[in-house]
Chains A and B, each alone.
Chain A
Amino acid sequence: NAGVTQTPKFQVLKTGQSMTLQCAQDMNHNSMYWYRQDPGMGLRLIYYSASEGTTDKGEVPNGYNVSRLNKREFSLRLESAAPSQTSVYFCASSEAGGAGGDYGYTFGSGTRLTVV
Chain B
Amino acid sequence: KNEVEQSPQNLTAQEGEFITINCSYSVGISALHWLQQHPGGGIVSLFMLSSGKKKHGRLIATINIQEKHSSLHITASHPRDSAVYICAVKGPQGAQKLVFGQGTRLTINP
Residues on A lying within 8 angstroms of B by beta carbon are 31, 33, 40-45, 48, 50, 56, 58-59, 88, 90, 92, 96, 98-99, 101-107, 109-110, 112
Contact = CB atoms under 8 A, between A and B. Distances in A.
Contacts of B98: 33, 43, 45, 105
Interface in B90-105: 90, 93-94, 96-103
B102 A40 contact: yes
Contacts of B93: 98-99, 101
Secondary structure type dominating chain B contacts: strand
Given A42-B4, A98-B93, A99-B93, A105 B45 contact: yes
Nearest to A109: B42
**What DSSP secondary structure best describes chain A's contact surface?**
loop
A88 B41 contact: yes
22 contacts: A31-B96, A41-B102, A42-B100, A42-B101, A42-B102, A43-B86, A43-B88, A43-B98, A43-B100, A48-B96, A56-B96, A58-B97, A90-B43, A98-B93, A99-B93, A101-B30, A102-B30, A103-B48, A107-B35, A107-B43, A107-B45, A110-B43
